[in-house]
Structure 1
Amino acid sequence: MAARIIDGKAAAAELRAEIGREVAALKANGKPAPGLHVVLVGEDPASKVYVASKEKLAAEIGMNSVAHRLPAETTEAALLAKIAELNADDGVDGILVQLPLPRHIDTGRVIDAIDPAKDVDGLHPINAGLLAGGKNGLVPCTPLGCMLLLKQALPSLSGLDAVVIGRSELVGRPVAQLLLQADCTVTIAHSRTRDLPAVVNRADIVVAAVGRPRMVKGDWIKPGATVIDVGINRMPDGKLAGDVDYAEAAEVAGAITPVPGGVGPMTIACLLRNTLTAYRARRG
């Protein structure tokens, strides 16, 4: 029996509509709209597409959306000055610096410079620490999107065995923390994990975020498991593929996200949700 498809496009559209209604209510009550500011340094084609999409979708739901496009030769000092300017601007509720940055700029230093209360990407060490401690903070967008899709697909996560493949600070570690908060039993697997197929095969939930196309095979998946595929890999034929062999896994899993159309759309929707969360926290 083929797996049920977890439709990230539909879930993201529903979330954006919900946020849009809340923004409209704020404005109807005389409140300012939440302000999302995205900083793009350079001319990376994929980054330009992502920033344009974020700008468009934020504007569609009534947020004040501003993109700051800086040339590739922008110095680290100049970028830090721009961030300091946005930190000090009371009309800015969310700041996102589009990654990757040019090589001459220290990414860690830039992330550390963002006001944690405006860090809608959820990458500042203070927000990472709040997440690790099970406290309220801004959560990275892709892991948050994964959790919303899981909660939509499963009646309860409590007590389930979850395996996260990948230990990055962007996805693997934060999604593992969120799964722990949902009372899952969590294993983080990675390139040094012994007998990875056997580890994955015992999981009720599999989150694949390793960056290797179609690495997770169908016979790795426990029958009926829920599979969240975070990977987005460009194949030689130009098509996109996830970290999971979708055709094989869909014959075994109970539910699965497609690529594209799964986790990807939720990432931007969760960015908008984080902006609204930051707005509320800052403005009471």
Structure 2
Amino acid sequence: MSRLRQSKQIRLYRYETLQGYLFISPWLLGLLLFTVAPMLASLYLAFTNYNILTAPQWAGLDNFRQMFTGDERYWKSWRATLVFVFGAVPLRLLFALATAMLLNQKIKLLGLFRTAYYLPTLLGGSVAVAVIWRQLFGSSGALNSLLESLFGINSDISWITHPATVMYSLIGLSVWQFGSAMIIFLAGLKQIPQSLYEAAAIDGAGLRHRLFNITLPLLTPVLLFNLIMGIINGFKVFTEGLIITGGGPFDKTLFYVLYLYEQSFRYYNMGYGSAMAWMLLVVIGLCTGVLFATSRKWVFYE
């Protein structure tokens, strides 16, 4: 009797498993066709000379040799991307955390403020936002008009074409879109027990002590997530460089993905572009791995 019951349970388990796979089969099919297959194809193309018009020709490690030893603009693209990542990601997290802490207070019209701060993230790195940003920071844009009206500074500088200011303009656009990180920080703040703050207040702990001894330590898992997502998105910056600056001036904003796009779809070096894409994957994977490896020392879980 027990064997019969066990056999029925096994058949039921197999039937339910089959049903589960049938339900997710559209997603699995899409994953295989639109993610796994293109990745494997790009891995093969990374070792070939391929210009879309002719069949790929095996080239071995030539694309990687060209990247590391024969392409000066390749290293310029890495330099521009790293400057952007190390400038935009910390500032974005700082603004997101500060705003989340403000919105965690009991104030009037709280829902309106949350929506207003999150709205730029909904717009995202769209072409329309990039075009508007280019107009705002142009030589006759709103920023120069504001400087003249408030401080009497008559400036006709174009903030998006001057080599000394162009990167700050793009970093400012990235920081402006801090809404997604803010929402995640806000959710993390809601999970911190108020009893901890009450006990700290009874012990005489001030605002600074509560921030550094309660809030930030308990937010470190959320901070780790936002940091990883920010770094990944920072390395993938593209629209801002393409629409606002076109990679200029003097390749100051020639971001890595923008240069990958140029090699692949402007010069039709699809094999070279595939090799660049895999190098980007390796670098992002290394950065993520380092963060996870070091998180044991600074991330605190309950």
TM-score range, shorter chain: under 0.3
Q: What's the TM-score, normalizing by structure 2?
A: 0.23
Q: What's the TM-score, normalizing by structure 1?
A: 0.24
Higher relative contact order (CA 8 A, sep 6+): 2
In terms of fraction of residues, the more helix-rich structure is 2
**Could you say which structure has the larger radius of gyration?**
2
